[in-house]
Amino acid sequence: MERKTFKVEIDIKQRIDKYLTERIKGFSREYIKVLCRKKFVKVNNKCVDPDEKISRGDIVEVTLPERQDYVIGEIKDIEIIYEDECLIVLNKPPFLKVHPAKKFDTEYTLLDILLEKLPDVVKNNWPLLRPFLVHRLDKETSGVIVVAKLPDVQFDLSKQFQRREVTKVYRAIVTGVVEGSRGEIIAPIKKYKNISVVSDIGKEAKTGFRLLSVNHSFKISYLELYPVTGRTHQIRTHLSFINHPIIGDVYYGGVKEVCGKKVPRVMLHSYKIKFFHPRRKKWVEYTAEPPEDFNYFLSLLSL
């Protein structure tokens, strides 16, 4: 946690957020406003709002916190599927963000867990805020995720994802009776703010799928999915596009309730991943079994 102190030497009154933006390089005015609202800014030893006016002689104290200074811890345990000296494969539980969505995001994230588990790795190898991360999963999506311990391993794995050499397998419970045992969805995707849509002006996107089981009575299907590209919300967008949205995925047309039971989240699970291990020099494959809530709906729907 870094602290800065300034003595105001201007004759005219000025808003504190504007004053600090001019004096603390690299921080936006919006960020300074957040610091004020979070009580990290004091004038003459009193916490102030961003519109507080200051004048000559005032003493301004600013605390520049690190994420660990204000994050709220929630999830402490996470299943380690595989670990060696250069990478870790984890089974991410649902409702755990991979990394903070914004500054002052107080939710406990996968990144926070990694920072606690491997503090020496962070200090010695990364000057950046987000070490390890090679790919991500949505907050509500559970399952297998790979993180690196070393910068060169992170770089190698990232390149494998960019070259589409990594095989990813997901499973999802979807609305409707899916016709045929196998299929492929090829439809360009464009991101608009926090959602994605199929659009002619979007980027190429391709998802294969296989029907695992179906419940004709409830008109629900269980799919295995193979995304070739890696667009934001690709699987969710493509399934909605073919009128088989994932149950619980209210943003993309999924139902909120099945058999009288509320669906607590998007029923999407990252089941398997295959990549070339940078140090072992061979292809490796890891599987994460679905969590309790996912298995509950599989059982409820006899899938």
Task: Give the model confidence (pLDDT) of 152-210 as tens digits.
Answer: 898 899 999 999 999 999 999 999 999 999 999 999 999 988 899 999 999 999 999 99
Instruction: Give the Cα separation of 246 and 171 in Å (integer).
Output: 10
Question: Residues with Cβ < 8 Å from 30, sequence gap 6 or more?
Answer: none
CATH code at position 206: 3.30.2350.10
Is 112 considered catalytic here?
A: no
Query: Residue 133 in contact with residue 111, Cβ under 8 Å?
Result: yes
For tokens 């059982």, what's the residue? 299
Same domain? For 84 and 50 the reply is: no
pLDDT of residue 131: 61
Of the candidates 138, 152, 200, 249, the residue annotated as catalytic is: 138
For the chain, what is the domain count?
Answer: 2
- Please give the chain's pLDDT, 303 residues, in tens: 789 999 999 888 899 999 999 988 878 888 899 899 989 999 999 999 999 999 999 999 999 887 777 676 666 678 999 999 889 999 999 999 998 877 777 788 888 888 777 766 655 555 444 567 899 999 999 999 999 988 889 889 999 999 999 999 999 999 999 999 999 999 999 998 889 999 999 999 999 999 999 999 999 999 999 999 999 999 999 999 999 999 999 999 999 999 999 999 999 999 999 999 999 999 999 999 999 999 999 999 999
Nearest Cα neighbor of 97 from 89, 109, 106 is: 109
For the entire predicted model, the pTM comes to 0.82
Residue 122 lies in a domain: yes
Residue 66: how many other CB atoms lie within 10 Å? 11
Same domain? For 38 and 119 the reply is: no
Residue 72 lies in a domain: no
Same domain? For 161 and 287 the reply is: yes
Residue 70 lies in a domain: no
Same domain? For 181 and 45 the reply is: no
Same domain? For 227 and 102 the reply is: yes
Q: What is the CA radius of gyration of the chain?
A: 24
Question: Residues with Cβ < 8 Å from 225, sequence gap 6 or more?
Answer: 169, 170, 171, 172, 207, 208, 209, 210, 235, 239
Instruction: Give the Cα separation of 148 and 90 in Å (integer).
Output: 11
C-alpha separations of 229 from 165, 169, 185, 251 in Å: 10, 12, 11, 21
Query: Residue 224 in contact with residue 171, Cβ under 8 Å?
Result: yes
Which residue range is the domain that position 100 belongs to? Answer: 79-300
Same domain? For 218 and 189 the reply is: yes
Same domain? For 273 and 172 the reply is: yes
